[in-house]
Amino acid sequence: MTTTPTFTLRDGAAMPAVGFGVYQIPAAETETAVTAALEAGYRHLDTAAAYENEEAVGRAIAASGLPRDELFVTTKLWVQDAGEAPSRAAAGRSLERLGLDHVDLLLIHQPFGDYYGTWRTLQELQREGLVRSIGVSNFAPDRLMDLIDHNEVVPAVNQIEAHPFHQRVADLALLEQHQVRAVAWGPLGQGRGDLFTHPVLTRIAEAHGASVAQVVLAWLLQRGIAVLPKSVHPERMQENLAATELTLAADEMDAIAALDTGVSTAFDHRDPASVHALGTTRFAV
Q: Which candidate, 55, 58, 47, places its Cα nearest to that of 24?
A: 47
72 binding ligand NDP? (CB under 6 A)? no
Beta bridge partners of 184: 160, 227
The answer to whether the CB of 83 falls within 8 A of the CB of 114 is yes
Proportion of the chain in helix, strand, coil states, percent, rounded to 5: 50, 15, 35
Residues 16, 135, 164, 229: which binds ligand NDP (CB under 6 A)? 229
240 binding ligand NDP? (CB under 6 A)? yes
Residues 68, 127, 233, 270: which binds ligand NDP (CB under 6 A)? 233
Residues 43, 166, 181, 230: which binds ligand NDP (CB under 6 A)? 230
Helix (H) or strand (E) holding 172: helix 169-177
Residues 30, 231, 238, 244: which binds ligand NDP (CB under 6 A)? 231
Least CB distance from residue 202 to ligand NDP, whole Å?
13
Residues 123-142, one symbol each (x = binds ligand NDP by CB under 6 A, - = not), give --------------xx----
Name which of 112 and 121 has its Cβ closer to ligand NDP: 112
Residues 18, 175, 188, 246: which binds ligand NDP (CB under 6 A)? 188
How many angstroms separate the most distant Cα atoms in the chain?
54
Q: Which residues contact 130 (CB under 8 A, 6 or more apart)?
A: 91, 95, 101, 102, 103
Q: What does each C-alpha distance from 52 to 47, 87, 193, 260, 285 come to in angstroms?
A: 9, 17, 27, 32, 7
196 binding ligand NDP? (CB under 6 A)? yes
Site residue total, ligand NDP (CB under 6 A)? 28
Q: Which candidate, 151, 129, 253, 233, places its Cα nearest to that of 191?
A: 233
Least CB distance from residue 160 to ligand NDP, whole Å?
8
The answer to whether the CB of 35 falls within 8 A of the CB of 63 is yes
Catalytic machinery residues: 51
Least CB distance from residue 97 to ligand NDP, whole Å?
16
Which range of residues in 63-71, 124-132, 150-158, 190-198 is near ligand NDP by CB under 6 A?
190-198
Which residues here bind ligand NDP, judged by CB under 6 A?
Answer: 21-24, 46, 109, 137-138, 159, 185-191, 196, 211, 213, 228-233, 236, 239-240
